[in-house]
Structure 1
């Protein structure tokens, strides 16, 4: 029996290799994702550990009480320096140091002091040296790349008094991953004296200590706790600090890897369907061979093991191919991710034993499991079947139609029930999850019904080809319908991929249009001026200068007040209803006077507020407080927690420093209005001019990037499905060799035979794509309804242009998939084909 299996593998090598491609692509995605996750974990481990390297003890404010210390005081720092066993001490803090770019505008950047103890520097020098003078600076290599800075050049920072300070770049460095780098902000290093100009009152958030020789980390921590006093401070050894840093960020790589593995799972499901279909066809084609084997003494178990042995060999081959292809997938993903934040895009390809085992486990298990049912079917072939031909599955489908309908009905009931339940849940996230699960159950129902749907859908789709191409199209349509189970299995893989792609596309475009409508509603002004640096307000004189521009009709400056877990905007009273249009649910904005506040409906519910209530707004970070009377409850997306008058907000410390934004409305028919406004804003390095159109363009660009990334991930499943179509056609050509020869003998030309196979391929592809598009659009509507609310109503937007592109792509891909099978069929000799038994 072993020799028979080996001979069979040799005889069907080409078919098995072609089938292996589908599963190899799925394995490549899984292994690529695992390698990417290992690379990210290794990078994060190395870089986060960099902030704790050589640190023997760390002291930070515990923040356990409101009266506790807000930072490291000079007195505490002096006690640390005088503690026995301390060999080196440095403080760590960050200061906002806005960096002025080539366009003259400032952008967010953080500055850190250069540690005086060299061992405690959490940076690795890349080029040049660290600053030694107060007019020198070193910049992070990513910052140097994005800002186009070189060693020996100059960089300008914006001081708190809005003056500009020039520094000479003396070096570049690679920093350990921390909150700054994760946020994507620029990063620089200055001498402590130079940095204090930008953060005079900012206390250090951490003191790091190096122990003297012979002093253990725990002994040092105990001595520091005794010297400083444990009340209000947290003491960690260097080892504890390293573990805590790694624990805080370990989930970041894990979450991203989980998302990629979800897409890999879709690709594997599609690949498994292709493999199942392939073995089903192979078993059907070998009915006579398997029956003859039974006639000469092969047992059912031997036939079963023989089919699974072929699957095992194919799975091993696919695993090897997928493992090496996965390295390429990981390298590509790392390049793409690195390009998002202007990084260097360095590639690391760690291959662990877990990854190798996962590749072979996934590749072989998926292949073998997908072949189990066809293998069982092979054992049921009676020896008498050797004397007759294998029938098509149309009759079998009709016999099992009742069971299929009942199974599909069960999935449909579960799906509809989950959708109805999800729609009734108030929590948007839970509603989306439950309703999304319901759509997947409905998708399963459609897949189960696939063989019963093939006939009606095929007849509907075949109308136009039959009218245009005549006999070849009629034959193609008949071929696609003669074996409903095979056609359904072939198209199901494509159906899944297109369903997910169209669902995501519909949801993304609906979200895009909804966001654009919200922007139009919230931004009736022609232009908005905001600060390019988050903690630097716009100067008040800027609003005065803009109001003096002849082309400007109205200027409405706003302020922002940060309270206890809430924030409030100060707006001019005369701008309400014009440049500010919140929807009022109770009370009246006419009563919004000095000492009053209008609160957002969700915040009012959380805080238990209503019209007539008193709200105490206490400014964060030690600012003042005011008791304000609630005069209205408003609703709308993008609103702050509350609105107050400009005069009321000015009594808070931060709002008194300047404006958060300035809304501008031009005069009707004003020519060159933007240019006139830019003459004023260009003079300020903080002022950034924006319009609703520009805001929408930026938002749409971000959504398009996310959508493109998802298209690329799901596209792998679609590619695998198209391989399945090509594989099915190839096996069908081999199966129908004699039939094709007879058609040629009856007058069908080589071109008509090729056309027949191309149309058959297109019919299968369009069948899967069309059903997938219908399901995707419907499921998209379900998800949109689940996340829609009275505050943010989502409208269904069907991107017909993108849908047309998907359909056209499916047709082109189907034509390409049919190219080789059609060429093989056309080249087969008529005499040789008729002679084949």
Structure 2
């Protein structure tokens, strides 16, 4: 590039330094967002896998009711395809601190001599094995329960007595979710603790690692075949296997949730960059429009189109490179901060915050390449202007005069001359109007869609809680007389109603095979149960996705919630039959309905009559659902404590007792990450969109220098000129609001369905957030007015002399 063109470029930058600064800021903010989201996604994606693999997760768990002894372990370790095997146990218990409420606890148990090569945990304080009468807690359970190592807690096994135990230390288990998120404490102890709690010291789980030589298999069919073969071998040896658990190989329980969060972050980050690129194109197009006569003059003295194009491309490249350089390091730092926040929410350890090379490559390519590609269109159009077109330019698009829009605008009458002048000025540069309105509308659409989707998550949680017309759920350790327990519950102060429900764990059965459940070792994620509500239940009303609900006389019908066809029995629809093992017996039922049941894990609903026949427990129950006369959290907990005391005095063993508030907290915790990400991204979109509007108004004022000079000559006051410019900005913003509102409606539906289905197999309720619309409208109109005031400052300072010398 010649020295003369460099001097011209430098003068252009200085003359339009405010717009160049806005372009640089817009791209920098967007590149910062993209870099932060990409790096956070890369770090979390790597660390969630590394943390889970560090636990050396079992490929499959075989349940052996008679217990796993040394002979079983030796036989299994000799089986082809089995890399290792160990004996473990899992106890569903309860824990409390002092006089506090009972909390759900999952107690993982192992033999003191277990080598801890499978499903291992990292001891952070204390040691393994813990001393007799003590246990280790997962580190997130410490804060959840409000205890520290050395303190005592009370643990109660189902059907046992409350037993004080000392917290001997803490561990990090990369295979479980945070305790507060699941509202469950995780404990680790030896078989000695089982005896201490009044339970037999039997380890009834055989956990195996499947693979070839030293390579662990990640193939579900391979793991399934090996587990079935091992089960057949153990049956021949006199150790029958009741069922097999096979979690998704190599996938953390919340892997799908984080994949969706990463997708949303990346998609919105790229949208922010696209917005910024459109903004740059708009500004550069305006710059070229303001220099049409300069371009014509350069063409007249021999400048070629390619030379002019390269000059302005160099300007665009300099802006993009500068913005990317400014944003890269802060973006990486913000990405690491986001990753650390995500790690805390997911109970992960980040071993290294290094970012893979592809993140740098994508950030640099996006920050420099995308703006240049988008800016190429207006730069090509501007550099091809001929001398004749430059002479004929009068500050409006070259549409045919007398068109329908021109005739409508000419005949239109408004409440004030200022408003009509602003409205007509908007359409002088129709191409730029489309870009300005489109840019702000895209920002508004993303802002509204983000907050609508976050609102959809919250609405899904509220909808789920609203479908449950009970306040307390109590699960018992075995079946008890239903009439006696419901009468006892109804006689408890603060209880207005109670129902006895049938409940038992289940697995999908395939003839000739040991039942396989795709459940994680915490026995919560992806588990499957059969529920039997009373025929006249008033405590649950689940919305139907397909088919119908149960009838009181149904004896061969089942209703599935939407998780079962997705996880346990893929492809099952209404009209199909499904065979489920209930109480040790395979039972085949016809699927008559599928319901939406967010907040409940995989469940099959049958009538109470059918359940009693299948399980052989007529008139008995394992679960109570209770309605309290007051529905605040404190009152529910008080009533639960009374019920707990009453049931315990009556000799009833409690496995788990929770209020509906516990479920709400757990559900809210699962969507917190995504909701916060959507709101943060919406703010970024809004900022970039308002920058676009400010640049468009600034360019428009610069182009109309002569017009404002003439208006000043004719006696127009500074306030009148300011009113014209501000009104033009507000009208542009209003158009963008209308467009954003219309586009947001279908986009919210599509985006919400996609996110909800991928993350939780559940469509999000359609929510249009009117507070979000009001907020965006206020921000947009206020921003437009402020941008108009800033742009009008130049217009009000234009003198007649400046207008005359303006090219």
With normalisation by structure 2, the TM-score equals: 0.74
Pick from 360, 369, 375: which aligns with 1:371? Answer: 375
Residue 245 of structure 2: aligned partner: none
Distance 1:455 1:717 in 2: 36
The CA distance in 2 between the partners of 1:265 and 1:279, in whole Å, is 21
Q: Is the 8 A contact 2:283 2:696 kept in 1?
A: yes
**Larger helix percent:** 1
Alignment match, 1:324: 329
Q: Which segment drifts farther, 708-717 or 133-142? A: 708-717
1:618 match: secondary structure: strand
Q: Which residue does 2:500 correspond to in 1?
A: 557
Whether the 8 Å contact between 2:68 and 2:203 is mirrored in structure 1 is no
- Correspondence for 1:530 among 461, 470, 473: 473
* Partner of residue 96, structure 1: 92
Q: Aligned partners of 2:424, 2:714: CA distance in 1, in Å?
A: 17
Q: Deviations over 1:56-114 (max 9, x none)?
A: xx986687xx9x9998543133569999xxxx996555443433257312224343548
Aligned to 2:622: 659
* 2:736 is equivalent to residue 768 of structure 1: yes
d(CA) in 2 for partners of 1:279, 1:748: 30
Structure 1 residues 689-700: aligned runs within 5 Å: 689-690=659-660
1:619 is aligned to 2:582: yes
SS in 2 for 1:482: coil
1:254 CA drift (Å):
5.1
Q: Is the 8 A contact 1:91 1:115 kept in 2?
A: no
Does residue 475 of structure 2 align to residue 477 of structure 1? no
Cα offset for 1:510?
A: 7.2
Alignment partner of 1:499 out of 445, 448, 453: 445
- Give a deviation string over 1:540-596, Cα, whole Å, max 9, x none: 6653321224775643211123444375333345x357977999978994535xxx3
1:353 aligns with: 357
Aligned-partner SS, 2:607: strand
Q: How does 1:267-346 map to 2 (within 5 A)?
A: 267-334=272-339, 336-338=341-343, 340=345
Partner of 2:28: 24
Which residue number corresponds to residue 434 of structure 1? none
Number of the residue aligned with 2:432: 486
* Cα distance in 2 between the residues matched to 1:708 and 1:746: 54
TM-fit CA distance, 1:727 = 1.6
Partner of residue 774, structure 2: 804
Which SS does the other structure have where 1:660 is aligned? strand
User: How do residues 377-456 of structure 1 correspond to structure 2 at under 5 angstroms?
Assistant: 377-385=381-389, 387-393=391-397, 395=399
Equivalences for 1:54-203 in 2 at 5 Å?
73-77=69-73, 91=87, 93-100=89-96, 103-113=100-110, 116=113, 120=117, 122-130=120-128, 132-177=130-175, 184=182, 185-195=184-194, 197=197, 200-203=201-204
For 1:248 and 1:106, how far apart are their aligned partners in 2?
Answer: 21
Aligned length: 724
Q: What's 1:7 paired with?
A: 7
* Shift in Å, 1:530: 1.0
Distance 1:598 1:784, change over 3 A: same
| Cα distance per residue 1:434-493 (max 9 Å; x no partner) | xxxxxxxxxxxxxxxxxx8x998x999x98xx64xx454444333322211111101101
Matched, 1:568 2:530: yes
Of 366-375 and 509-518, more deviation after overlay is shown by 509-518
In the alignment, the residues of structure 2 paired with residue 274 and residue 113 of structure 1 have an alpha-carbon distance, to the nearest angstrom, of: 61
SS at match of 2:287: helix
Question: Is residue 2:703 matched to residue 1:735?
Answer: yes
Tell me, yes or no, if the aligned pair for 2:67 and 2:204 is still in contact at 8 Å.
yes
Q: Secondary structure at the match of 1:641?
A: strand
Output the CA distance in 1 between the equivalents of 2:784 and 2:291. Answer: 27
SS of residue matched to 2:427: helix
2:694–2:788: 8 Å Cα contact kept in structure 1?
A: yes
State the match for 2:657 in structure 1: 687
Whether contact under 8 Å (2:450, 2:681) holds in the other structure is no
C-alpha distance in structure 2 between counterparts of 1:559 and 1:110, whole Å: 25
Task: Assess, with a 3 A threshold, how the Cα gap between structure 1 residues 127 and 319 changes in structure 2: closer, same or farther.
Answer: same
Partner secondary structure for residue 22 of structure 1: helix
Q: Aligned pair 1:750/2:696, yes or no? A: no
Measure, in 2, the Cα distance between the counterparts of 1:244 and 1:716.
Answer: 37
Distance 2:732 2:573 in 1: 59
| Distance of aligned partners of 1:459 and 1:27 in 2 relative to their CA distance in 1, 3 Å threshold | farther
CA distance in 2, matches of 1:778, 1:249: 29
SS in structure 2 of the partner of residue 189 of structure 1? strand
Q: Secondary structure at the match of 1:569?
A: strand
Deviation at 1:36, TM superposition (A): 0.9
| Matched-pair contact (CA < 8 Å) for 1:531–1:661 | yes
1:724 Cα deviation from its structure 2 partner: 0.9
Residue pair 1:538, 1:659 contacting (<8 A) in 2 also: yes
Asked if residue 37 in structure 1 is aligned to residue 5 in structure 2, the reply is no
Choose from 649, 662, 674 the match for 2:612.
Answer: 649
Say which SS state the counterpart of residue 625 (structure 2) adopts. strand
* CA deviation profile, 1:268-305 (whole Å, cap 9, x unmatched): 22222212212211111121222222223222221222
Query: RMSD of the TM alignment (CA)?
Result: 5.3
* Aligned partner of residue 622 in structure 2, secondary structure: coil
Tell me, what secondary structure is at the counterpart of 1:557? strand
* Structure 1 position 749, deviation (Å): 3.4
Three-state SS of the structure 2 residue aligned to 1:160 is coil
Following the alignment from structure 1 to structure 2, what is the Cα–Cα distance between the partners of residues 105 and 61? Answer: 31
Give distance in 1, aligned partners of 2:549 and 2:695: 68
Deviation at 1:35, TM superposition (A): 0.9
In the alignment, is the contact (CA less than 8 A) between 2:449 and 2:748 conserved in 1? yes
- Give yes or no for the alignment of 1:600 onto 2:562: no
**Rounded Cα–Cα distance in structure 2 between residues aligned with 1:246 and 1:177:** 9
Distance 2:377 2:574 in 1: 63
Structure 2 gap segments, 5+ residues each: 216-225, 234-247, 509-527, 648-653, 757-761
TM-score (ref. length: structure 1):
0.71
Q: Is the 8 A contact 1:561 1:567 kept in 2?
A: yes
Q: CA deviation digits over 1:505-525, x for unaligned, max 9?
A: 5677678768867865x54x5
Distance 1:81 1:316, change over 3 A: closer
Whether contact under 8 Å (1:124, 1:175) holds in the other structure is yes
2:207 is the alignment partner of 1:206:
yes
